[in-house]
Amino acid sequence: MDTRLQHSDHRRRSPFRRPRRALAVAALLSTALIAADSRRAGAGDDAVQLTVLSQFGDNPALQNVLDELNETFESNNPGIDVDIEYLTLDDLTRTVPTALASGEGPDVVDYDANESSLGDLARNGLLASLDDYATSYEWTDRLAESALERTTFDGQLFGIGRSSEAVGLFYNADIFATHGIAAPDTYDAFITAADTLAAAGITPIAFGNQDQWPSSHLIGAALHATVPIETITGIETLGGTGSWSDPAVIAAFDTGAGWAASGYLTPDFNAVSFDDALKSFFAGEAGMFIEGTGVIPDIITNMEGVDVRFVPFPMQSGEPQQAEGGIGGAWAITASADAPDAAAAWIDFVHFSDDAEAAWFAAGVLPTTNFDGGSVEVDDLVRDSLDVVAAALDGGGIGYWTGYSSSPLVIDAWNGGAQLLLTGELDAETFAAQLQDALEQARSAG
Amino acid sequence: MTALSASASASPTRSGVVRSPGARGAGRIGHTIRGYALVMPAMALYAVFLLWPVIQTIRLSFTSWNGLTESRTWIGLDNYRRLVGDARFRSALANNLLWVAGSWLAQGLGLLLAAVLSASWIRGRTFFRTVFFLPATMSLVVVGIAWNQIYNPRSGLLNAALRGVGGDSATRAWLADQNTAMPAVIATANWTYFGFAMVVFLGGLQAIDRHLYEAAALDGAGGWQQLRHVTIPGLRSQITLLLVLSFINTLRTFDLVYVMTNGGPGRRTEVVAYYIYSLAFVTRQVGYGAAATVVLTVLVLAVTVVVLRRRERE
């Protein structure tokens, strides 16, 4: 029986006429509803209630995709009722751990696929292992090796990578053409483009760091353009043995700070939000934007008619192409889920079904599977992004989200120092030492 | 016999009904029980929502706990020892104290406005009182978002106003500049506070006997002397109240920093409550965050008690 119909029917026949009586009955009803909700699929009702927390809170386009897929899933599975709640990534990251620790979290959560986030939950026993489901649904056969690696902790799979992501270089080809600037496909061409744009009074690189995390993508681009992935892996994982004070890492920090000192970035970038920086790129106030593939749906929506291109961020001295990035988010089943089997069926449908793969790809979300999107009609920018990911996978590899991958302690250290590094108020050696202190603290805590 | 004794020693009640001492005692006990029954709901709420969390926080402060597992490791006073050498905690506390100093300036402005708006020759006093008090009624989150826009280096009102009067060189990224970020956040907080202080002082001014001013004037006291020897002593209760309130409020302040700067640039605007939030919810050092919370609470209580006792003695 459809419980939603029952509720709406109840409301229609509501006999409330006097406010006091209405209040009293409303109080009783809400108590009853809370009790019913807390017991999911109440007694005598075979329907399974699934709760899903998604990080698409600030992305209506992707909310629509998930809602449509979910409707199809519910109509195919009348015994499963799915309630999706959308939060921003910040809100989700700050509320989910506490909710799960109290045993009252959702059944499925779309969480960041880093050791510092998904790994943190998994190692503290708050997520269910997906190994059995991966075998029975053949997820392991379909997911890319790199996607599996990012959501496997201590030998067990805890998440299904939702999107492949890589940081690259967006540029406004119309502005470049107007000023006779060559495509930034080498590091020298990138610097020449920045200088030319600055001389023309156009902000070379749109950048807003008020939210602190964008510095991870900007400085991360410099890092991945010079430092081998093996070295980066050594500093971005708790099991690694690398040091942030590695001279090559410090040199990369200096490179990022140098872009700021050269006036390549949006003025007063620490007082500019990420959204405002992105809008300035939309508006043609900046010629380039160093960001991940995750912003492609927004760019497609907001820059219709503008020739925007997306290329790998060029390596500084001709080594095989690398890129910052990894997995954009991962579906995970919580340890407190009441219906993990239904949760696995839901994940299988919204991520692995042909309909889902095509829908996500059409919306600009890059697959983490062996899905061949050749038959799907997509924007050129989405094809560009596939090329950026492929270039890195075929070259030196895709690295990590700089400073945000290993531990919350390192994230905190990054946020406390990167703003000052870029304004020249903190030198690269000191910044690196602060990151290393935090990493060592995290490593010693196990 | 028992009844006779009881009757002989009984005294009439107000209603004229004679009751025995035993009955009177029973009545007192019943009265007491009724009293406790009436306060029990409030006491229960107080115990559940205040005392129990306080006790839990104190217990947590002696543990190492990441907030995610059930197991907590007892580490005695280690968290408190670590706090002593924690430069970040000291820096956050210094920011709080700067904030306290700023709130006292706002109180001074509130006193000044109260003095001006209590003058009978001012027209539209009610309008001005309402306008000045209005910010105090607003949510700090809303205020933070609004002032973020005002401080925006490109489109903000403040820089636009400076440019409008030829002060281009004074324009800056107020919240991103290490020298101006903290004063900018404090100024925002005080924008919501001076009106509240003004209203409290206005209430106090109305309670001062006007004859004191007349007597002071007859003795040759000017405006400044009247302020110093009549107004300020007359407002001592209000001044004490506001000092204590502002101290408590500023030491636990969190919202504006969270909304406006996330503690940045760097850690320049980080206050203790934000640091505690960061410890408990970002880096998952819940035990250490609890220790910092206990220290902050003890500090607030100590200063409050000292100020109030001194005031009582005076």
CA A170 to centroid of chain Cα atoms: 18
- Listed in sequence order, the residues at least 6 apart from A294 whose beta carbon sits closer than 8 Å to its beta carbon are A163, A165, A328
Looking at residue A155, what is its pLDDT?
A: 96
**Least confident residue range of A13-22, A281-290, A402-411:** A13-22
Looking at residue A297, what is its pLDDT?
A: 86
State yes or no: pLDDT of A43 exceeds 60: no
With respect to residue B18, please indicate whether it lies within any of the assigned structural domains. Answer: no
Three-state SS across A303-362?
A: CCCCCEEEEECCCCCCCCCEECEEECCEEEEECCCCCHHHHHHHHHHHHHCHHHHHHHHH
Looking at residue A78, what is its pLDDT?
A: 93
State yes or no: pLDDT of A230 exceeds 90: yes
The dihedral through the CA atoms of B218, B219, B221, B225 has a sign that is: negative
Total domain count, chain B: 1
* Average pLDDT for chain A: 89
Residue bearing tokens 């934000």:
B274
Size of interface A-B (CB pairs under 8 A): 78
Percent of chain A with pLDDT over 90: 80
What superfamily does domain A165-325+380-444 belong to in CATH? Periplasmic binding protein-like II (3.40.190.10)
Domain residue limits, chain A: 48-164+328-375, 165-325+380-444
Q: Which of B65, B36, B37, B80 is nearest to B287 (CA)?
A: B65
B265 touches chain A (CB under 8 A): yes
With respect to residue B237, please indicate whether it lies within any of the assigned structural domains. Answer: yes
Looking at residue B23, what is its pLDDT?
A: 64
Percent of chain B with pLDDT over 70: 92
pLDDT tens-place string over residues A78-95:
999 999 999 998 899 989
Chain A CB contacts of B175 below 8 Å: 210, 270-271
Residue B56: Cβ-neighbour burial (10 angstroms; 0-12, 13-18, 19+):
exposed
Phi, psi of B152 (to 5 degrees): -55, 125
State yes or no: pLDDT of A49 exceeds 50: yes
CB–CB of B68 and A409 under 8 A?
no
What's the CA gap between A428 and B268, in Å, rounded? 18
Q: How far is B58 from chain A (nearest CA, A)?
A: 19
pLDDT tens-place string over residues B244-284:
889 888 988 999 999 999 999 999 999 999 999 999 999 99
What's the CA gap between B91 and B83, in Å, rounded? 12
What's the CA gap between A446 and B144, in Å, rounded? 38
pLDDT tens-place string over residues A335-366:
999 999 999 999 999 999 999 999 999 998 99
Q: What ipTM score was computed for the predicted complex, to two decimals?
A: 0.81
pLDDT tens-place string over residues B47-58:
999 999 999 999
Looking at residue B95, what is its pLDDT?
A: 96
B69 touches chain A (CB under 8 A): yes
State yes or no: pLDDT of A189 exceeds 50: yes
The class that CATH gives domain A48-164+328-375 is alpha beta
What's the CA gap between A384 and B248, in Å, rounded? 56
* Average pLDDT for chain B: 89
Looking at residue A13, what is its pLDDT?
A: 33
The residue segments making up the domain with residue B128 are 87-313
Which 8-state DSSP code applies to residue B282?
I
Looking at residue A33, what is its pLDDT?
A: 37
A48-164+328-375 and A165-325+380-444 have identical folds: yes
Q: What is the CATH number of the domain that holds B164?
A: 1.10.3720.10
CB–CB of A420 and B152 under 8 A?
no
Looking at residue B70, what is its pLDDT?
A: 85
- Listed in sequence order, the residues at least 6 apart from A319 whose beta carbon sits closer than 8 Å to its beta carbon are A228, A396
In total, chain A counts a number of residues equal to 446
CB–CB of A101 and B267 under 8 A?
no
Residue A118: Cβ-neighbour burial (10 angstroms; 0-12, 13-18, 19+):
buried
Looking at residue B19, what is its pLDDT?
A: 57
What's the CA gap between B34 and B45, in Å, rounded? 18
What's the CA gap between B266 and B91, in Å, rounded? 12
Q: Which range has highest mean pLDDT (B29-43, B174-188, B219-233)?
A: B174-188
In this prediction, residue B18 has a pLDDT band, given cuts at 50, 70 and 90, of low
State yes or no: pLDDT of B9 exceeds 50: no
Q: Which range has highest mean pLDDT (A26-40, A219-233, B22-36)?
A: A219-233
Of residues A103 and A128, more confidence is placed in A128
Looking at residue A376, what is its pLDDT?
A: 87
Specify whether the CB–CB gap between A380 and A364 falls below 8 A: no
What's the CA gap between A2 and A85, in Å, rounded? 20
pLDDT tens-place string over residues A402-434:
999 999 999 999 999 999 999 999 999 999 999
CA distances from B303 to B49, B266, B300, B309, B310 (A): 24, 30, 5, 10, 11
- pLDDT mean over B162-183: 94
Q: How far is A316 from chain B (nearest CA, A)?
A: 29
Chain A CB contacts of B265 below 8 Å: 270, 419-420, 423, 425
**Least confident residue range of A2-16, A222-236, A310-324:** A2-16
- Buried/exposed code over A225-254 (b: 16+ C-beta within 10 A; e: otherwise): bbbbbebbbbbbbbebebbbebeebbebbe
State yes or no: pLDDT of B129 exceeds 70: yes
Looking at residue A202, what is its pLDDT?
A: 97
Q: How many CA atoms lie within 13 A of A395 on its CB side?
A: 24
- Rounded to the nearest 5 degrees, what angle is found at the Cα of A240, between the Cα atoms of A234 and A242? 45
Looking at residue B20, what is its pLDDT?
A: 62
